A and B are shown apart, each in its own frame.
Chain A
Protein backbone atom coordinates (compact mmCIF):
# COMPACT_ATOMS: atom_id res chain seq x y z
CA UNK A 1 0.00 0.00 0.00
CA UNK A 2 1.43 3.39 -0.98
CA UNK A 3 1.53 6.46 1.19
CA UNK A 4 -1.07 9.06 0.18
CA UNK A 5 0.21 11.55 2.74
CA UNK A 6 3.80 12.10 3.71
CA UNK A 7 4.83 14.70 6.22
CA UNK A 8 8.54 15.33 6.32
CA UNK A 9 10.42 17.13 9.07
CA UNK A 10 7.58 19.60 9.62
CA UNK A 11 8.13 22.57 11.90
CA UNK A 12 5.68 25.28 12.91
CA UNK A 13 6.45 28.25 15.10
CA UNK A 14 3.51 30.29 16.31
CA UNK A 15 3.11 32.99 18.91
CA UNK A 16 6.63 32.53 20.19
CA UNK A 17 6.44 28.77 20.57
CA UNK A 18 7.44 25.70 18.63
CA UNK A 19 4.07 24.06 18.04
CA UNK A 20 5.31 21.35 15.67
CA UNK A 21 8.88 20.22 15.38
CA UNK A 22 10.68 17.62 13.33
CA UNK A 23 7.38 15.96 12.64
CA UNK A 24 7.30 13.00 10.29
CA UNK A 25 4.19 11.04 9.44
CA UNK A 26 3.16 8.65 6.70
CA UNK A 27 -0.47 7.75 6.04
CA UNK A 28 -1.20 4.93 3.65
CA UNK A 29 -3.85 5.21 0.99
CA UNK A 30 -7.17 3.79 2.11
CA UNK A 31 -6.30 3.32 5.76
CA UNK A 32 -7.75 4.79 8.90
CA UNK A 33 -4.76 6.21 10.69
CA UNK A 34 -5.26 7.08 14.32
CA UNK A 35 -3.24 9.96 15.76
CA UNK A 36 -3.21 9.78 19.54
CA UNK A 37 -1.96 12.51 21.77
CA UNK A 38 -2.64 14.36 24.96
CA UNK A 39 -4.31 17.74 24.96
CA UNK A 40 -1.78 20.34 23.90
CA UNK A 41 0.44 17.88 22.05
CA UNK A 42 -0.11 19.71 18.75
CA UNK A 43 -2.69 17.46 17.10
CA UNK A 44 -5.10 20.20 16.08
CA UNK A 45 -2.24 22.40 14.91
CA UNK A 46 -1.09 19.56 12.71
CA UNK A 47 -4.65 19.22 11.35
CA UNK A 48 -4.78 22.94 10.47
CA UNK A 49 -1.31 22.76 8.93
CA UNK A 50 -2.25 19.79 6.78
CA UNK A 51 -5.43 21.57 5.66
CA UNK A 52 -3.53 24.77 4.86
CA UNK A 53 -5.38 27.06 7.25
CA UNK A 54 -4.27 30.67 7.52
CA UNK A 55 -1.53 31.13 10.10
CA UNK A 56 -0.44 27.52 9.89
CA UNK A 57 2.12 27.67 7.13
CA UNK A 58 5.04 25.52 8.27
CA UNK A 59 8.43 27.13 8.75
CA UNK A 60 10.29 24.04 7.63
CA UNK A 61 9.50 20.69 6.12
CA UNK A 62 7.19 19.38 3.44
CA UNK A 63 3.70 17.99 3.07
CA UNK A 64 3.32 15.63 0.15
CA UNK A 65 -0.12 14.46 -0.93
CA UNK A 66 -0.40 11.75 -3.54
CA UNK A 67 3.12 12.46 -4.72
CA UNK A 68 2.63 16.23 -4.97
CA UNK A 69 4.23 18.76 -2.65
CA UNK A 70 1.31 20.79 -1.30
CA UNK A 71 3.21 22.68 1.38
CA UNK A 72 2.57 26.05 -0.19
CA UNK A 73 -0.98 25.44 -1.40
CA UNK A 74 -3.92 27.24 0.18
CA UNK A 75 -6.84 25.61 1.87
CA UNK A 76 -9.09 25.63 -1.15
CA UNK A 77 -6.45 24.19 -3.46
CA UNK A 78 -5.94 21.34 -1.03
CA UNK A 79 -9.69 20.83 -0.85
CA UNK A 80 -9.81 20.61 -4.63
CA UNK A 81 -7.23 17.82 -4.43
CA UNK A 82 -9.59 15.90 -2.19
CA UNK A 83 -8.47 16.87 1.31
CA UNK A 84 -10.94 18.08 3.87
CA UNK A 85 -11.10 18.68 7.58
CA UNK A 86 -13.75 18.14 10.22
CA UNK A 87 -13.03 20.76 12.86
CA UNK A 88 -12.90 19.86 16.52
CA UNK A 89 -15.19 22.77 17.26
CA UNK A 90 -17.08 23.32 14.03
CA UNK A 91 -18.21 26.77 12.98
CA UNK A 92 -21.85 27.69 13.20
CA UNK A 93 -23.71 29.29 10.34
CA UNK A 94 -26.69 31.53 10.95
CA UNK A 95 -29.61 30.63 8.72
CA UNK A 96 -27.89 27.87 6.75
CA UNK A 97 -30.01 24.69 6.73
CA UNK A 98 -28.32 21.43 7.66
CA UNK A 99 -29.17 19.79 4.34
CA UNK A 100 -27.69 22.67 2.36
CA UNK A 101 -24.57 22.64 4.48
CA UNK A 102 -24.04 18.92 3.93
CA UNK A 103 -24.70 19.43 0.23
CA UNK A 104 -22.08 22.18 -0.15
CA UNK A 105 -19.11 19.91 -0.72
CA UNK A 106 -20.79 17.78 -3.37
CA UNK A 107 -20.07 18.37 -7.04
CA UNK A 108 -23.78 18.37 -7.88
CA UNK A 109 -27.03 18.26 -5.92
CA UNK A 110 -27.61 14.81 -4.47
CA UNK A 111 -30.47 14.66 -2.00
CA UNK A 112 -30.10 10.93 -1.54
CA UNK A 113 -26.45 11.30 -0.54
CA UNK A 114 -27.33 14.06 1.93
CA UNK A 115 -30.05 11.90 3.42
CA UNK A 116 -27.68 8.93 3.70
CA UNK A 117 -25.01 11.10 5.33
CA UNK A 118 -27.41 12.38 7.98
CA UNK A 119 -28.64 8.89 8.68
CA UNK A 120 -25.04 7.70 8.96
CA UNK A 121 -24.51 10.03 11.90
CA UNK A 122 -27.86 9.13 13.46
CA UNK A 123 -29.53 12.44 12.67
CA UNK A 124 -33.00 11.74 11.23
CA UNK A 125 -33.22 13.79 8.00
CA UNK A 126 -36.86 14.67 8.55
CA UNK A 127 -35.94 16.27 11.87
CA UNK A 128 -32.63 17.90 10.99
CA UNK A 129 -32.51 18.70 7.27
CA UNK A 130 -34.22 22.08 7.62
CA UNK A 131 -32.73 23.12 10.91
CA UNK A 132 -30.05 25.77 10.79
CA UNK A 133 -26.40 24.97 11.48
CA UNK A 134 -26.43 27.60 14.20
CA UNK A 135 -26.48 27.94 17.96
CA UNK A 136 -29.75 26.01 18.19
CA UNK A 137 -27.85 22.77 17.60
CA UNK A 138 -26.13 21.24 20.60
CA UNK A 139 -22.38 20.70 20.43
CA UNK A 140 -22.88 17.00 19.79
CA UNK A 141 -25.43 17.61 17.04
CA UNK A 142 -23.13 20.12 15.39
CA UNK A 143 -20.27 17.61 15.44
CA UNK A 144 -22.45 15.02 13.79
CA UNK A 145 -23.48 17.46 11.08
CA UNK A 146 -19.80 18.15 10.46
CA UNK A 147 -19.07 14.45 10.11
CA UNK A 148 -22.06 14.04 7.81
CA UNK A 149 -20.76 16.84 5.58
CA UNK A 150 -17.34 15.22 5.33
CA UNK A 151 -18.81 11.77 4.75
CA UNK A 152 -21.09 13.08 2.01
CA UNK A 153 -18.11 14.52 0.10
CA UNK A 154 -16.31 11.20 -0.28
CA UNK A 155 -12.96 13.03 0.09
CA UNK A 156 -9.70 11.33 -0.71
CA UNK A 157 -8.30 12.32 2.68
CA UNK A 158 -10.50 13.23 5.63
CA UNK A 159 -8.80 14.78 8.62
CA UNK A 160 -11.12 14.26 11.56
CA UNK A 161 -10.07 16.38 14.51
CA UNK A 162 -11.41 14.83 17.70
CA UNK A 163 -14.66 13.60 16.11
CA UNK A 164 -15.51 11.92 19.39
CA UNK A 165 -15.30 14.97 21.62
CA UNK A 166 -18.61 16.34 22.84
CA UNK A 167 -20.44 13.24 21.71
CA UNK A 168 -21.96 10.91 24.28
CA UNK A 169 -20.48 7.49 24.86
CA UNK A 170 -23.42 5.78 23.23
CA UNK A 171 -22.56 7.53 19.99
CA UNK A 172 -18.91 6.51 19.89
CA UNK A 173 -19.86 3.26 18.23
CA UNK A 174 -21.77 5.26 15.59
CA UNK A 175 -18.72 7.42 14.97
CA UNK A 176 -16.44 4.40 14.71
CA UNK A 177 -18.82 2.72 12.27
CA UNK A 178 -19.02 5.90 10.21
CA UNK A 179 -15.24 6.12 9.98
CA UNK A 180 -15.02 2.51 8.80
CA UNK A 181 -17.76 3.23 6.28
CA UNK A 182 -15.78 6.20 4.97
CA UNK A 183 -12.76 3.98 4.52
CA UNK A 184 -14.97 1.44 2.79
CA UNK A 185 -15.89 4.10 0.27
CA UNK A 186 -12.25 4.79 -0.48
CA UNK A 187 -11.55 7.70 1.85
CA UNK A 188 -8.28 7.73 3.72
CA UNK A 189 -8.93 8.93 7.27
CA UNK A 190 -6.55 10.66 9.64
CA UNK A 191 -8.36 10.19 12.93
CA UNK A 192 -7.12 12.63 15.55
CA UNK A 193 -8.14 11.82 19.08
CA UNK A 194 -7.06 11.78 22.67
CA UNK A 195 -9.38 8.88 23.52
CA UNK A 196 -7.47 5.68 23.10
CA UNK A 197 -10.64 3.60 22.61
CA UNK A 198 -11.22 5.39 19.30
CA UNK A 199 -8.20 3.63 17.85
CA UNK A 200 -10.42 0.57 17.60
CA UNK A 201 -11.56 2.03 14.29
CA UNK A 202 -7.99 2.49 13.02
CA UNK A 203 -5.77 0.28 10.84
CA UNK A 204 -2.60 1.93 12.09
CA UNK A 205 -1.84 4.59 14.62
CA UNK A 206 0.75 7.15 15.58
CA UNK A 207 1.54 8.70 18.88
CA UNK A 208 2.04 12.43 19.13
CA UNK A 209 3.65 14.29 21.98
CA UNK A 210 5.27 17.67 22.40
CA UNK A 211 4.64 18.66 18.80
CA UNK A 212 6.05 15.63 17.08
CA UNK A 213 5.15 12.07 16.13
CA UNK A 214 7.13 9.72 18.31
CA UNK A 215 5.88 6.35 17.20
CA UNK A 216 3.77 4.67 14.52
CA UNK A 217 2.50 1.15 14.32
CA UNK A 218 -0.37 -1.09 15.29
CA UNK A 219 -3.29 0.60 17.06
CA UNK A 220 -3.16 -1.78 19.99
CA UNK A 221 0.46 -0.92 20.64
CA UNK A 222 -0.20 2.78 20.30
CA UNK A 223 -2.99 2.43 22.76
CA UNK A 224 -0.68 0.64 25.13
CA UNK A 225 1.89 3.39 24.88
CA UNK A 226 -0.74 6.04 25.21
CA UNK A 227 -2.30 4.45 28.26
CA UNK A 228 1.03 4.90 29.99
CA UNK A 229 0.85 8.58 29.08
CA UNK A 230 3.47 8.93 26.41
CA UNK A 231 6.23 7.68 28.68
CA UNK A 232 8.39 6.40 25.81
CA UNK A 233 8.40 9.79 24.20
CA UNK A 234 9.35 11.66 27.29
CA UNK A 235 12.17 9.22 27.94
CA UNK A 236 13.44 9.22 24.37
CA UNK A 237 13.20 12.90 23.75
CA UNK A 238 14.79 14.13 26.92
CA UNK A 239 12.45 16.95 26.20
CA UNK A 240 13.18 20.52 27.02
CA UNK A 241 10.36 21.90 29.11
CA UNK A 242 8.86 24.47 26.76
CA UNK A 243 5.37 23.54 27.85
CA UNK A 244 4.41 24.81 31.24
CA UNK A 245 2.32 21.70 31.76
CA UNK A 246 5.34 19.48 31.49
CA UNK A 247 6.15 19.17 35.21
CA UNK A 248 2.58 18.05 35.85
CA UNK A 249 2.76 15.54 33.00
CA UNK A 250 6.09 14.19 34.22
CA UNK A 251 4.71 13.74 37.70
CA UNK A 252 1.83 11.76 36.26
CA UNK A 253 4.25 9.58 34.30
CA UNK A 254 6.27 8.93 37.41
CA UNK A 255 3.12 7.91 39.21
CA UNK A 256 2.24 5.51 36.40
CA UNK A 257 5.63 3.91 36.57
CA UNK A 258 5.40 3.26 40.25
CA UNK A 259 1.99 1.62 39.94
CA UNK A 260 2.41 -0.16 36.61
CA UNK A 261 2.30 -3.96 36.77
Chain B
Protein backbone atom coordinates (compact mmCIF):
# COMPACT_ATOMS: atom_id res chain seq x y z
CA UNK B 1 0.00 0.00 0.00
CA UNK B 2 1.39 3.37 -0.94
CA UNK B 3 0.15 6.10 1.31
CA UNK B 4 -0.36 9.71 0.36
CA UNK B 5 1.29 12.18 2.64
CA UNK B 6 -1.08 12.87 5.49
CA UNK B 7 -0.78 13.86 9.09
CA UNK B 8 -1.98 12.36 12.32
CA UNK B 9 -3.63 15.62 13.20
CA UNK B 10 -5.77 15.23 10.16
CA UNK B 11 -7.19 11.80 10.57
CA UNK B 12 -6.63 8.03 10.40
CA UNK B 13 -9.14 7.55 13.23
CA UNK B 14 -8.89 3.78 13.10
CA UNK B 15 -5.33 4.00 14.34
CA UNK B 16 -5.94 6.47 17.11
CA UNK B 17 -5.38 4.02 19.94
CA UNK B 18 -2.22 2.63 18.39
CA UNK B 19 -1.03 6.14 17.65
CA UNK B 20 -1.63 7.29 21.21
CA UNK B 21 0.12 4.21 22.57
CA UNK B 22 3.20 4.69 20.42
CA UNK B 23 3.31 8.37 21.33
CA UNK B 24 3.20 7.44 24.99
CA UNK B 25 6.05 4.97 24.52
CA UNK B 26 7.92 7.68 22.64
CA UNK B 27 7.38 10.09 25.52
CA UNK B 28 8.49 7.55 28.10
CA UNK B 29 11.60 6.95 26.07
CA UNK B 30 12.51 10.61 26.38
CA UNK B 31 11.18 11.76 23.01
CA UNK B 32 9.24 14.95 22.44
CA UNK B 33 5.94 13.64 21.16
CA UNK B 34 4.75 17.13 20.34
CA UNK B 35 7.38 17.28 17.63
CA UNK B 36 5.62 14.40 15.88
CA UNK B 37 2.45 16.41 15.47
CA UNK B 38 3.69 19.67 14.02
CA UNK B 39 2.42 20.32 10.49
CA UNK B 40 5.68 21.72 9.13
CA UNK B 41 7.76 18.82 10.45
CA UNK B 42 8.11 15.85 8.14
CA UNK B 43 7.12 12.77 10.14
CA UNK B 44 7.01 9.05 9.60
CA UNK B 45 5.55 6.89 12.35
CA UNK B 46 5.49 3.13 12.06
CA UNK B 47 4.08 0.76 14.65
CA UNK B 48 4.88 -2.88 13.94
CA UNK B 49 3.87 -3.10 10.27
CA UNK B 50 1.39 -0.23 10.31
CA UNK B 51 2.22 3.15 8.87
CA UNK B 52 0.43 5.46 11.28
CA UNK B 53 1.73 8.69 9.82
CA UNK B 54 3.60 9.50 6.64
CA UNK B 55 3.59 13.26 6.59
CA UNK B 56 5.77 14.88 4.01
CA UNK B 57 6.53 18.53 3.55
CA UNK B 58 7.94 20.51 0.68
CA UNK B 59 11.26 18.93 -0.20
CA UNK B 60 10.66 15.72 1.76
CA UNK B 61 8.47 12.88 0.51
CA UNK B 62 7.67 9.53 2.03
CA UNK B 63 6.47 6.47 0.19
CA UNK B 64 5.70 3.77 2.71
CA UNK B 65 4.36 0.31 2.05
CA UNK B 66 3.23 -2.15 4.66
CA UNK B 67 4.80 -5.60 4.59
CA UNK B 68 3.76 -8.72 6.51
CA UNK B 69 6.32 -8.03 9.24
CA UNK B 70 7.25 -4.43 8.75
CA UNK B 71 7.38 -1.55 6.35
CA UNK B 72 9.25 -0.60 3.23
CA UNK B 73 9.81 3.12 3.05
CA UNK B 74 11.39 5.44 0.54
CA UNK B 75 12.43 8.80 1.93
CA UNK B 76 13.40 11.33 -0.67
CA UNK B 77 14.85 14.76 -0.10
CA UNK B 78 14.79 16.91 -3.20
CA UNK B 79 18.03 18.24 -4.65
CA UNK B 80 19.14 21.51 -3.07
CA UNK B 81 16.32 21.41 -0.53
CA UNK B 82 17.36 22.78 2.84
CA UNK B 83 15.01 21.26 5.37
CA UNK B 84 14.84 23.68 8.24
CA UNK B 85 13.28 21.38 10.83
CA UNK B 86 14.50 17.95 11.84
CA UNK B 87 12.64 15.13 10.12
CA UNK B 88 11.18 12.80 12.74
CA UNK B 89 11.04 9.07 12.24
CA UNK B 90 9.47 6.82 14.83
CA UNK B 91 9.66 3.05 14.59
CA UNK B 92 8.15 1.07 17.39
CA UNK B 93 6.39 -2.05 18.45
CA UNK B 94 4.26 -2.37 21.51
CA UNK B 95 3.71 -6.15 21.77
CA UNK B 96 6.20 -8.18 23.74
CA UNK B 97 6.88 -10.60 20.91
CA UNK B 98 7.23 -10.41 17.18
CA UNK B 99 9.31 -9.15 14.30
CA UNK B 100 9.58 -5.70 12.83
CA UNK B 101 11.52 -5.31 9.63
CA UNK B 102 12.16 -1.87 8.23
CA UNK B 103 13.47 -1.65 4.70
CA UNK B 104 14.41 1.95 4.17
CA UNK B 105 15.74 3.76 1.16
CA UNK B 106 17.04 7.27 1.77
CA UNK B 107 17.76 9.40 -1.26
CA UNK B 108 19.27 12.75 -0.43
CA UNK B 109 19.48 14.90 -3.52
CA UNK B 110 22.58 16.79 -4.55
CA UNK B 111 23.16 19.91 -2.52
CA UNK B 112 20.36 19.15 -0.07
CA UNK B 113 20.64 19.57 3.70
CA UNK B 114 18.57 17.48 6.07
CA UNK B 115 18.63 16.14 9.61
CA UNK B 116 16.78 13.03 10.75
CA UNK B 117 15.92 11.97 14.27
CA UNK B 118 14.87 8.34 14.41
CA UNK B 119 13.39 6.92 17.59
CA UNK B 120 13.07 3.18 17.88
CA UNK B 121 10.81 2.30 20.78
CA UNK B 122 10.24 -1.21 22.10
CA UNK B 123 9.09 -0.80 25.69
CA UNK B 124 7.62 -4.24 26.29
CA UNK B 125 9.93 -6.54 24.36
CA UNK B 126 10.53 -9.96 25.80
CA UNK B 127 10.99 -11.88 22.55
CA UNK B 128 11.16 -9.39 19.76
CA UNK B 129 13.38 -8.71 16.79
CA UNK B 130 13.85 -5.39 15.05
CA UNK B 131 15.70 -5.37 11.76
CA UNK B 132 16.58 -2.39 9.69
CA UNK B 133 17.96 -2.75 6.20
CA UNK B 134 18.81 0.70 4.98
CA UNK B 135 20.28 2.09 1.83
CA UNK B 136 21.35 5.69 2.18
CA UNK B 137 22.56 7.78 -0.70
CA UNK B 138 23.94 11.23 0.01
CA UNK B 139 24.20 13.19 -3.21
CA UNK B 140 27.06 15.42 -4.25
CA UNK B 141 27.51 18.34 -1.90
CA UNK B 142 24.57 17.22 0.25
CA UNK B 143 24.53 16.88 4.02
CA UNK B 144 22.63 14.18 5.84
CA UNK B 145 22.57 13.97 9.61
CA UNK B 146 20.93 10.85 10.94
CA UNK B 147 20.55 10.26 14.67
CA UNK B 148 19.00 6.97 15.74
CA UNK B 149 18.13 6.47 19.40
CA UNK B 150 16.70 3.26 20.82
CA UNK B 151 14.44 3.03 23.84
CA UNK B 152 14.03 -0.48 25.12
CA UNK B 153 12.23 -1.93 28.06
CA UNK B 154 13.81 -3.60 31.07
CA UNK B 155 13.56 -7.22 29.96
CA UNK B 156 16.38 -7.64 27.47
CA UNK B 157 14.40 -9.96 25.24
CA UNK B 158 15.12 -8.05 22.09
CA UNK B 159 17.36 -8.50 19.10
CA UNK B 160 18.27 -5.40 17.12
CA UNK B 161 19.94 -5.69 13.75
CA UNK B 162 20.50 -2.32 12.09
CA UNK B 163 22.30 -2.67 8.78
CA UNK B 164 23.07 0.17 6.44
CA UNK B 165 24.84 0.64 3.14
CA UNK B 166 25.73 4.29 2.82
CA UNK B 167 27.13 6.03 -0.23
CA UNK B 168 28.45 9.56 0.06
CA UNK B 169 29.02 11.30 -3.24
CA UNK B 170 31.65 13.92 -3.96
CA UNK B 171 31.65 16.67 -1.35
CA UNK B 172 28.76 15.13 0.55
CA UNK B 173 28.57 14.72 4.30
CA UNK B 174 27.05 11.89 6.28
CA UNK B 175 27.01 12.36 10.04
CA UNK B 176 25.29 9.76 12.13
CA UNK B 177 24.85 8.73 15.73
CA UNK B 178 23.46 5.42 16.88
CA UNK B 179 22.52 5.26 20.52
CA UNK B 180 21.26 2.33 22.56
CA UNK B 181 21.64 3.44 26.15
CA UNK B 182 18.09 3.40 27.54
CA UNK B 183 16.74 0.12 28.84
CA UNK B 184 18.25 -3.27 28.09
CA UNK B 185 20.30 -3.47 24.93
CA UNK B 186 19.46 -7.15 24.46
CA UNK B 187 21.32 -8.43 21.43
CA UNK B 188 22.62 -5.66 19.21
CA UNK B 189 24.23 -6.46 15.91
CA UNK B 190 24.99 -3.22 14.16
CA UNK B 191 26.55 -3.36 10.73
CA UNK B 192 27.26 -0.21 8.71
CA UNK B 193 29.26 0.14 5.52
CA UNK B 194 30.01 3.63 4.27
CA UNK B 195 31.63 4.51 0.95
CA UNK B 196 32.95 8.03 0.68
CA UNK B 197 33.82 9.76 -2.59
CA UNK B 198 36.23 12.64 -3.13
CA UNK B 199 36.10 15.36 -0.47
CA UNK B 200 33.23 13.59 1.19
CA UNK B 201 32.88 13.26 4.94
CA UNK B 202 31.59 10.41 7.06
CA UNK B 203 31.28 10.66 10.81
CA UNK B 204 29.78 7.80 12.75
CA UNK B 205 29.27 7.71 16.49
CA UNK B 206 27.98 4.58 18.16
CA UNK B 207 26.98 4.39 21.80
CA UNK B 208 25.72 1.31 23.59
CA UNK B 209 25.31 0.19 27.18
CA UNK B 210 24.96 -3.48 28.02
CA UNK B 211 24.06 -5.08 31.33
CA UNK B 212 23.33 -8.60 32.57
CA UNK B 213 23.55 -10.88 29.50
CA UNK B 214 23.29 -8.23 26.81
CA UNK B 215 25.51 -8.80 23.79
CA UNK B 216 26.69 -5.85 21.72
CA UNK B 217 28.38 -6.24 18.37
CA UNK B 218 29.35 -3.22 16.31
CA UNK B 219 30.75 -3.61 12.81
CA UNK B 220 31.70 -0.51 10.93
CA UNK B 221 33.45 -0.37 7.60
CA UNK B 222 34.36 2.97 6.11
CA UNK B 223 35.94 3.13 2.68
CA UNK B 224 37.58 6.39 1.76
CA UNK B 225 37.55 5.99 -2.00
CA UNK B 226 38.03 9.53 -3.23
CA UNK B 227 40.78 12.10 -2.88
CA UNK B 228 40.49 14.16 0.28
CA UNK B 229 37.76 12.00 1.77
CA UNK B 230 37.51 12.19 5.55
CA UNK B 231 36.07 9.94 8.21
CA UNK B 232 35.71 9.60 11.95
CA UNK B 233 34.40 6.44 13.59
CA UNK B 234 33.80 6.97 17.26
CA UNK B 235 32.55 4.17 19.48
CA UNK B 236 31.58 4.36 23.13
CA UNK B 237 30.45 1.15 24.76
CA UNK B 238 30.02 0.11 28.35
CA UNK B 239 29.28 -3.35 29.65
CA UNK B 240 28.75 -4.66 33.13
CA UNK B 241 27.57 -7.83 34.85
CA UNK B 242 27.99 -10.55 32.20
CA UNK B 243 27.39 -8.45 29.14
CA UNK B 244 29.73 -8.49 26.16
CA UNK B 245 30.85 -5.87 23.70
CA UNK B 246 32.66 -6.47 20.45
CA UNK B 247 33.66 -3.59 18.24
CA UNK B 248 35.06 -4.21 14.77
CA UNK B 249 35.96 -1.01 13.00
CA UNK B 250 37.68 -0.92 9.67
CA UNK B 251 38.80 2.12 7.76
CA UNK B 252 40.20 1.76 4.27
CA UNK B 253 41.90 4.68 2.58
CA UNK B 254 42.51 4.26 -1.13
CA UNK B 255 42.98 7.77 -2.45
CA UNK B 256 45.36 10.69 -2.07
CA UNK B 257 44.91 12.85 1.02
CA UNK B 258 42.23 10.64 2.47
CA UNK B 259 42.17 10.91 6.26
CA UNK B 260 40.48 8.60 8.69
CA UNK B 261 40.42 8.22 12.43
CA UNK B 262 38.91 5.57 14.68
CA UNK B 263 38.33 6.21 18.36
CA UNK B 264 36.99 3.49 20.59
CA UNK B 265 36.45 3.63 24.34
CA UNK B 266 34.92 0.72 26.18
CA UNK B 267 34.25 0.45 29.88
CA UNK B 268 34.06 -2.99 31.39
CA UNK B 269 32.84 -3.89 34.88
CA UNK B 270 32.19 -7.08 36.80
CA UNK B 271 32.29 -10.24 34.70
CA UNK B 272 31.64 -8.38 31.48
CA UNK B 273 33.91 -8.64 28.46
CA UNK B 274 34.87 -6.00 25.92
CA UNK B 275 36.82 -6.42 22.73
CA UNK B 276 38.00 -3.96 20.13
CA UNK B 277 39.38 -4.96 16.76
CA UNK B 278 40.44 -2.01 14.65
CA UNK B 279 41.61 -2.63 11.11
CA UNK B 280 43.45 -0.04 9.11
CA UNK B 281 44.00 -0.54 5.42
CA UNK B 282 45.81 2.12 3.39
CA UNK B 283 46.39 1.80 -0.34
CA UNK B 284 47.82 5.23 -1.11
CA UNK B 285 51.01 6.61 0.37
CA UNK B 286 49.45 10.06 0.65
CA UNK B 287 46.60 8.83 2.81
CA UNK B 288 46.57 8.39 6.57
CA UNK B 289 44.38 6.51 9.00
CA UNK B 290 44.85 6.58 12.76
CA UNK B 291 43.15 4.78 15.59
CA UNK B 292 43.03 4.91 19.36
CA UNK B 293 41.34 2.53 21.72
CA UNK B 294 40.97 2.31 25.45
CA UNK B 295 39.30 -0.54 27.28
CA UNK B 296 39.18 -0.75 31.01
CA UNK B 297 37.28 -0.04 34.12
CA UNK B 298 36.05 3.40 35.06
CA UNK B 299 38.65 5.98 35.90
CA UNK B 300 39.61 5.58 39.53
CA UNK B 301 39.77 9.28 40.28
CA UNK B 302 36.37 9.90 38.71
CA UNK B 303 34.95 7.10 40.84
CA UNK B 304 36.47 8.39 44.08
CA UNK B 305 35.25 11.89 43.33
CA UNK B 306 31.68 10.67 43.09
CA UNK B 307 32.03 8.44 46.15
CA UNK B 308 33.15 11.53 48.05
CA UNK B 309 29.86 13.12 47.02
CA UNK B 310 28.03 10.31 48.78
CA UNK B 311 27.11 8.16 45.78
CA UNK B 312 27.42 4.41 46.19
CA UNK B 313 29.72 2.63 43.77
CA UNK B 314 27.00 1.37 41.45
CA UNK B 315 25.44 4.80 41.13
CA UNK B 316 28.83 6.41 40.60
CA UNK B 317 29.75 3.97 37.84
CA UNK B 318 26.39 4.60 36.22
CA UNK B 319 26.94 8.36 36.24
CA UNK B 320 30.36 7.94 34.63
CA UNK B 321 29.11 5.55 31.98
CA UNK B 322 26.04 7.56 31.12
CA UNK B 323 28.16 10.67 30.82
CA UNK B 324 30.46 8.90 28.41
CA UNK B 325 27.48 7.67 26.41
CA UNK B 326 25.66 10.99 26.39
- Residues of A whose CB lies within 8 Å of any CB of B are 51, 53-54, 74-76, 78-80, 83-85, 87, 90-96, 104-105, 132, 149, 153
From B301, B307, B312, B325, contact of A95 by CB (8 A)? B325
* Contact A90–B305 (Cβ < 8 Å): yes
* Contact B309–A105 (Cβ < 8 Å): yes
CB-based A-B contact count at 8 angstroms: 61
From A75, A76, A94, contact of B323 by CB (8 A)? A94
User: Besides A54-B304, A91-B302, 20 other CB < 8 A contacts?
Assistant: A53-B304, A76-B307, A76-B308, A76-B310, A76-B313, A79-B308, A80-B310, A83-B308, A84-B308, A84-B310, A85-B308, A90-B305, A91-B301, A93-B323, A94-B324, A95-B324, A96-B319, A104-B311, A104-B319, A105-B309
* Contact B320–A93 (Cβ < 8 Å): yes
Distance (whole angstroms) from the CB of A5 to the closest CB of chain B: 16
Q: List 16 A-B contacts (CB under 8 A).
A: A51-B308, A54-B304, A75-B308, A76-B313, A80-B310, A84-B309, A84-B310, A87-B301, A91-B299, A93-B320, A94-B326, A95-B323, A95-B325, A95-B326, A96-B320, A149-B309
Task: Please give me the residue from chain A that is nearest to B320 by CB atom.
Answer: A93
Task: Please give me the residue from chain B that is nearest to A89 by CB atom.
Answer: B301
- Residues of B whose CB lies within 8 Å of any CB of A are 299-302, 304-313, 319-320, 322-326
A132 to B323, CA, bound (A): 9
A94 to B236, CA, bound (A): 11
* Contact A93–B302 (Cβ < 8 Å): yes
Task: Please give me the residue from chain B that is nearest to A96 by CB atom.
Answer: B323
Which 7 interchain pairs have the tightest Cβ spacing? A95-B326, A96-B323, A105-B309, A95-B323, A91-B301, A79-B310, A91-B302
Main secondary structure of the interface of B (DSSP, over half): helix
* Contact B304–A104 (Cβ < 8 Å): no
Chain A positions within 8 Å of B304 at CB level: 51, 53-54, 75, 91
A23 to B239, CA, bound (A): 43
Task: Please give me the residue from chain A that is nearest to B315 by CB atom.
Answer: A104
Chain B positions within 8 Å of A104 at CB level: 306, 309, 311, 319
A51 to B309, CA, bound (A): 11
Task: Please give me the residue from chain A that is nearest to B326 by CB atom.
Answer: A95
Distance (whole angstroms) from the CB of A56 to the closest CB of chain B: 10
Chain A positions within 8 Å of B305 at CB level: 87, 90-91
Distance (whole angstroms) from the CB of A117 to the closest CB of chain B: 13
Distance (whole angstroms) from the CB of B265 to the closest CB of chain A: 8
Interface-centre pick from A76, A84, A87, A105 (highest chain B CB count, 10 A):
A76
Chain A positions within 8 Å of B323 at CB level: 93-96, 132
* Contact B310–A96 (Cβ < 8 Å): no
Distance (whole angstroms) from the CB of B325 to the closest CB of chain A: 7
Chain A positions within 8 Å of B306 at CB level: 104
A132 to B325, CA, bound (A): 12
Distance (whole angstroms) from the CB of B180 to the closest CB of chain A: 16
Interface-centre pick from A94, A105, A153 (highest chain B CB count, 10 A):
A94
Interface-centre pick from B299, B304, B326 (highest chain A CB count, 10 A):
B304
Chain A positions within 8 Å of B307 at CB level: 74-76, 79
